[in-house]
Amino acid sequence: MAAADDIYASRSEQLSSKARRRAAWMRVLAGVLAIGTASLFSACSGGSPKCPKDDGDPCTLDECKAGVAVNSYLGDGHPCFVGKLQGACTEGRCAVPCEMASQCNDGLPCTRGECQEGVCVIEADDYQTAPEDGNACTEEHCIGGKVASWPKPDGSSCPGGECASGVCGSCDVPADCGSATECLEWTCAQNHCVSKFEASGTYIPALDIVGDCQRPICDGHGNVSAEIWPGDKPWSYDACFEWVCVGATPLRAPKIGTNCIMDSGLIGKCSESGACVQCVKDLDCPAEHRCEDSACVKCGDYQPTGDEICGGSCGQCKGTSCDEDSDCASSHCVFTNGFPARVCCTGDCAGICEQCDAMTGTCVAVPKNQKDDSCLGIGLACFNSQCKTMSGYPCVKGTECINGSCVNGTCG
């Protein structure tokens, strides 16, 4: 690598200012070709200098928050892309499964893929032939896994004569100047090479890597650049996931609540984890059912029978201790008569001389002669859901007394 740098440095001394600019653009192109999902633009909208460019790691989500670059790991198992290869993020890197080396061709120049222990290993290959840029007076080489280009020394021979400032000095036909590319066309005018550049932003379908959230375009100077393109999303065959582009990063997002087909063949809903389940909310279920652990369950009003349940989103069964009405399937959390505890009951048990049975969770009559909060008068107690006077207390007639007898103005 050091030797290559020395060669590059010595040749760069011969560049004119125009040729230097061209070489700089070619180095930009090298970065695009060598990293399939890398972005040439700042992570911040508008290119804020406070945020650096994409870090080039297909397993990070590159964002700019409050002027600070944040590169968040997508997590183990998240799909990722290396050139045209798709893998999954594993322990911080994009792992592409393979069985043989031929499955590890990422489609990018200056790299070599090998299959090692079932995973593709992509390495720089500086012995590969770098793609030509179309100019007969430039040289292209693979250096450090990237394409580098520089003008040939002035006086170097070209089909039409000699090179001068990175351009063939004379020509008879356009082919003497170089080969046409997607962004560059040559003409020969009065025996001189004249370059014609495609307009900046011209899309180049032949160089596009599908699904990397970018598209190749001409930069207006004869070179290939890249721009973030939200529409260049990977294909998705999963009913419960969709791809979105966040900058130059393809992100896999669940389509929560979308209809899908469960393994049983029935229509279900996509969950937050991307699974096709019976329900994700209560409204996905039939009447009198709730969504509990992604399945529709029938809630027992007071006591479950058959396939009914209590507990969870359905609320507690009757007779179960509770703190408030919402804890109960019956929506009634009632103090038991004679006990400080509250239990789920079939009703509010607010009738005269009515209480909740702590054992059964049902409303029952308060036993005869027992005091109750509904009987507020002096000497009153319960008798068959009525408040009557206990023995020894004043009375006017026998019907007022629990024992039915009023003697000398006192309940007998």
Please give the Cα distance from 31 to 37 (Å, whole number): 10
Name, in order, each residue with C-beta under 8 angstroms of 283's C-beta and a sequence gap of 6 or more.
none
Q: What is the pLDDT of residue 6?
A: 39
Q: H or E element: which one contains 8?
A: helix 2-12
pLDDT band, residue 23 (cuts 50/70/90): very low
DSSP assigned state of 203: B
Q: What is the pLDDT of residue 339?
A: 60
Q: How many helices (H) and strands (E) does the chain have?
A: 2, 32
Q: What is the pLDDT of residues 381-402, one digit of tens each?
A: 998 888 999 998 999 998 999 9
Mean pLDDT, the chain, rounded, equals 81
Are the C-beta atoms of 26 and 109 separated by less than 8 Å? Answer: no
Q: What's the gap between Cα 80 and its chain centre?
A: 13
Within 10 angstroms of residue 52's Cβ, the number of other Cβ atoms is: 15
- Residues of the chain with pLDDT > 90, as a percent, come to 32
Q: What is the pLDDT of residue 350?
A: 85
What distance, in Å, lies between the first and last C-alpha atoms of the chain?
Answer: 115
Highest mean pLDDT among 16-20, 68-72, 127-131, 152-156: 152-156
Q: What is the pLDDT of residue 111?
A: 92
Please give the Cα distance from 337 to 359 (Å, whole number): 12
Name, in order, each residue with C-beta under 8 angstroms of 152's C-beta and a sequence gap of 6 or more.
137, 138, 139, 158, 163, 166
Q: In the chain, how long is the greatest CA-to-CA distance?
A: 143
Within 10 angstroms of residue 109's Cβ, the number of other Cβ atoms is: 18
Q: What is the pLDDT of residue 95?
A: 93
Q: What is the pLDDT of residue 307?
A: 67
Are the C-beta atoms of 30 and 24 separated by less than 8 Å? Answer: no
Name, in order, each residue with C-beta under 8 angstroms of 194's C-beta and a sequence gap of 6 or more.
186, 187, 188
234-267: b (≥16 Cβ within 10 Å) or e:
beeeeebebbebebbbbbbebbebeebeeeeeee
DSSP 289-300: EEEETTEEEEEP
Please give the Cα distance from 322 to 318 (Å, whole number): 10
Closest CA to 39 of 22, 60, 21: 60
What single-letter amino acid sits at 376? L
pTM: 0.51
Q: What is the pLDDT of residues 334-373, one digit of tens each?
A: 887 656 678 888 888 888 888 888 777 888 888 888 888 8
Q: What is the pLDDT of residue 33?
A: 30
Q: H or E element: which one contains 28?
A: helix 17-34
pLDDT band, residue 286 (cuts 50/70/90): confident
Q: What is the pLDDT of residue 141?
A: 93
Domain boundaries, the chain: 14-228, 260-309
Task: Dig out the tokens for 393 from the structure.
Answer: 């207390």
Within 10 angstroms of residue 405's Cβ, the number of other Cβ atoms is: 13
Are the C-beta atoms of 156 and 166 separated by less than 8 Å? Answer: no
SS3 of residue 217 by DSSP? strand
Instruction: Using CB atoms within 10 Å of the CB of residue 9, give its burial: 0 to 12 exposed, 13 to 18 middle, 19+ buried.
Output: exposed
